[in-house]
Chain A
Amino acid sequence: MTELVVASRPTEAGGTGTSRTAHARSALLAPFTRRLAQLGSVPRWLTWAGVMTSALGLVLIAVAWGRAAALTTVALQVPYVVSAGFTGMALVIVGLAMVSVDAKRADTVERRHQLRELREVLVELRQALEDRP
């Protein structure tokens, strides 16, 4: 509702309220988009491998269900539950672990980059202080 009122009012700079709102929104989103861009520069093959592993696990569980549903003897169903069902579950867990490791790694790469930049700034500041007569 507030946004509507702002949008109908012209701004001092001559622009409409809509463009001002859009500008404010993009300014608000800027840190997130910058962060996403930084994350995009980190190689994320492990994440994809983890997603594919989990997907393979889900497919195996579906196969186990399909095979077990086609049988009426429990003793014949059990091997499918064990081979495809449990293996599928294990693959899902391993895939999630891979995604988790890659996410942690990506976050650490970003934080280390920030720490390094901060350290460089401090070094430059100290050198500037020492060089000043």
Chain B
Amino acid sequence: MRSSAWLRDPVAASLALFAGLAVAGFVAIGLGWRVTARTLLLAAQVPAVISGALGGLALVTVGAGLFVVQVGRRLAAVERAETEELLDEASALLAAAKGRRA
């Protein structure tokens, strides 16, 4: 029940995308390791380090960073909605107080 509600969340797709970026980063690091472990030629290893390892690390950083930002935005949106309800209630209270005075 709870998981289906989570899936309906509009943020879920972007969160899955960012988590996928981080996972892709780990895969890229693994590919970089495979290429570097296959050869003893340093000149052939360096491109694999740059494209696989550094690129993978960059993907993990970007994915994790965007994930954190998106979660923060989602939590802030929930808070804003509750603050809006609070303001509605305060307005109703003010209206009630004014109605009593009149």
From A79, A90, A94, A126, give the contact of B93 (CB < 8 A).
A126
Q: Mark B38-81, 1 if CB is under 8 A from A, else 0.
A: 01111001001100111011001100110110011001101100
> Does B60 lie within 8 Å of A111, measured CB to CB?
no
Nearest residue, chain A, Cβ from B60: A90
Main secondary structure of the interface of B (DSSP, over half): helix
> Does B90 lie within 8 Å of A86, measured CB to CB?
no
Q: How many A-B residue pairs have CB under 8 A?
A: 105
> Does B86 lie within 8 Å of A122, measured CB to CB?
yes
Please report the total number of A residues contacting B with Cβ < 8 Å.
Answer: 36
> A82-B48, A97-B67 given as contacts; is B93 within 8 A of A108 (CB)?
no
Nearest residue, chain B, Cβ from A86: B53
Q: Find chain B residues with CB under 8 A from A79 CB.
A: 33, 36-37, 45
> Does B61 lie within 8 Å of A108, measured CB to CB?
no
Shortest CB distance B21–A (Å): 11
Asked whether any CB of chain B lies closer than 8 Å to the CB of A76, the reply is yes
Asked whether any CB of chain B lies closer than 8 Å to the CB of A3, the reply is no
> A75-B42, A129-B100 given as contacts; is B78 within 8 A of A112 (CB)?
yes
